[in-house]
Structure 1
Amino acid sequence: MQFNTTVMLHFPDTRNASSLKIFQDPTSQIRGFYFTKSQINKVEELDYANNHAVYFLFSEAEEESVYVGQSTKGIERIKSHLRKKDFWQFGIMFVTDNHSFDKLSIDYLEYYFIQAFAKTQYSLENQDLRPSPPNVNIFNLSTLDAFASQIQFLLEAMGIAFNSVIDSTESSIEIEVFKARPPYEASLRIQDGKYVLLKGSLICKPLDKTKNWSDRGNFYNRYIRHFAQLIDSGQASVAANDSTARLLNDIEFTSPSTPAALCSGKSQNGWVFWKGLDEKRQNENNDNAFLKDEGV
């Protein structure tokens, strides 16, 4: 059975409607704030923005990443990330308008969403992946899980995907598969504008030499963390040696270069790495140019 619901949106500043908004299910006490870095001071002035909170800082870079955090002082804690973390472009924070979040609530929600995002295409920026749940008694657990379910729905309503891919067997559209160039063992498909690294593909740890790149090891640190995240979350299993692993599920990305780097252990031009992908792009560009010339 399919259900439908309503989410209310409020724009505190109509001049910045795309970068600052409040959203809430009218039947729930959970209130969400969406904001970009430039709008963070305005969030502090909004009602309930300094309550206990769970929050998410997102990167819109080539490789999507997220930091999951908690705060007893709402937006005040997030403001400190302007100085300490520069990877993110926008944040989403959740509080309750009746103070029903307490320290235990936000601790559990932080744990819950670290585990949830570990199973998605997002690379986690958290250093502590919270492998063990906090001590929650059975009487509180159902309430906290209900909070988590409501927050996950609101995140999805804001365009944050938790389901990595749509099952291609349910689609009548023929799916084209692109193989990695030798010696790599991996396959990619394009679906709904996303680049899907297919189950069975071999991923590998970043090469040791990437530690000494001019980026001060950023590439190495990011991809070693992503490699471990996929294994720890059960999305991949270690292969013949501990430097490689095989995907157990399809994983989607926003560009072809990120899965190419994940499969090769070094930076790659994804359009070239996947055989036939660049040709497909060029053909589509030529077709679009032709249609434009024809006035279609």
Structure 2
Amino acid sequence: MMHASNIPTIILLNKSSRNYISKEEYLIQKDSTVLLYFPDSANASSLKVIQDSTSQIRGFYFTKSQMQKVESLEYANNYAVYFLFSDLEEPSVYIGQSVNGITRIKSHLREKEFWKFGILFVTDNNSFDKLSIDYLEYQFIREFAKTQFNLENRDLRQVEPNLNVFNRSTLRAFAKQIEFLLEALGISFQPIGIEVSNHTEYFHAPEPYRASIYLQDGKFILQKGSVIKQPITSSRSWSDGGRFYNRYMRHFQNFIDTEQAEIIRDNEAQLLHDVEFTSPSTPADLCSGQSNNGWKFWIGLEEKRKKEIK
């Protein structure tokens, strides 16, 4: 007899979402119905399958401890693009592709220790091919470079795969559908265009830094016009083996490459849009070029937190 907690559960979610309009207007989506399937309702928060009812794209969300169960799920071994996320205060992501789905990710248990949960996307008719997942990997590396996430990929895929116009339009539409499903699972793709209330409270960086943040929906928004800096040269020889320097140099360069910021002098750039973060420390580090406790760095932020705790 199947225990009640192991009975698969299906939930149908009907929600309104923001418009998804690509530059070429391949996909316009206002309201979406999403199907969530829980293979084991006792582990609903760590193993789930998500699918837009109008699309053949299927996503598998899993934590490390539940990864083995994904292998037995239908379609999980199809051609895939996947994302491995940390859940740390400073979030990071690795983006990869696989010709045999979840089987490829097993190697990351040994090779990459940073990740806590993964999301794998396939088509339930296995219509992706090698060129498809190659393009999707390239596209999402570019998209995540515009967000709060630090990219763990060593190869940032600067050259776009060679696609004809028909394949490109189809795959860009697929990318938008995957982006929507990622958002439905709590992965934010909204680094720009954030609406600011008239009552927004700003917290400024101390002199000599020129930057400000504000809070919105539990996130820390680094304001357009803020100046970000390359990490200080001495951080190359810190006891962390240069990880801080390499991480923030890559982060700084990503803002330039994706046109989220423009160079104003050799080691500084100015943000062209508001950018969202999950903690105050990452924007503090970006704006100072040094490691900081973000709560203490932004003037007045620590005092505000203490008042709210009381």
* TM-score, scaled to structure 1: 0.92
In the alignment, does 2:209 pair up with 1:184?
yes
1:168–1:175 contact (8 Å) kept in structure 2: no
1:292 paired residue number = none
1:180–1:186 contact (8 Å) kept in structure 2: yes
Q: Where does structure 1 differ by over 6 angstroms across 4 or more consecutive aligned residues? A: none
- In the alignment, which of 198, 217, 220 is matched to residue 242 of structure 2? 217
**Equivalent residue letter for 1:270:** G
C-alpha deviation, 1:166, in angstroms: 5.3
- In 1, the alpha carbon distance for the partners of 2:47 and 2:70 equals 8
1:71 paired residue number = 98
1:204 paired residue number = 229
1:252 paired residue number = 276
C-alpha deviation, 1:245, in angstroms: 1.2
**Equivalent residue letter for 2:201:** E
Percent identical pairs in the alignment equals 64
- In 2, the alpha carbon distance for the partners of 1:202 and 1:55 equals 33
In the alignment, does 2:191 pair up with 1:167?
no
C-alpha deviation, 1:3, in angstroms: 2.6
**How do 1:93-242 and structure 2 match up within 5 A?**
93-165=120-192, 167-169=194-196, 171=197, 173-241=198-266
**Equivalent residue letter for 1:161:** S
- In 1, the alpha carbon distance for the partners of 2:244 and 2:189 equals 24
2:306 paired residue number = 282
2:87–2:116 contact (8 Å) kept in structure 1: yes
Q: Give the aligned length.
A: 283
- In 2, the alpha carbon distance for the partners of 1:238 and 1:155 equals 31
C-alpha deviation, 1:81, in angstroms: 1.0
Unaligned runs of 5+ in 1: 287-296
* TM-score, scaled to structure 2: 0.88
C-alpha deviation, 1:167, in angstroms: 2.9
- In 1, the alpha carbon distance for the partners of 2:255 and 2:178 equals 23
SS at match of 1:60: coil
1:55 paired residue number = 82
- Please say which of residues 89-98 and 215-224 is displaced more in the overlay: 215-224
Q: Give CA deviations for 1:245-276 in whole Å, capped at 9, x if unaligned.
A: 11111111111111101111111011111111
1:264 paired residue number = 288
Unaligned runs of 5+ in 2: 1-18, 20-28
Q: CA RMSD in A?
A: 1.4
In the alignment, does 2:72 pair up with 1:45?
yes
- In 2, the alpha carbon distance for the partners of 1:201 and 1:228 equals 16
- In 2, the alpha carbon distance for the partners of 1:165 and 1:284 equals 28
**Equivalent residue letter for 1:159:** G
- In 1, the alpha carbon distance for the partners of 2:30 and 2:225 equals 34
2:12 paired residue number = none
1:202–1:247 contact (8 Å) kept in structure 2: yes
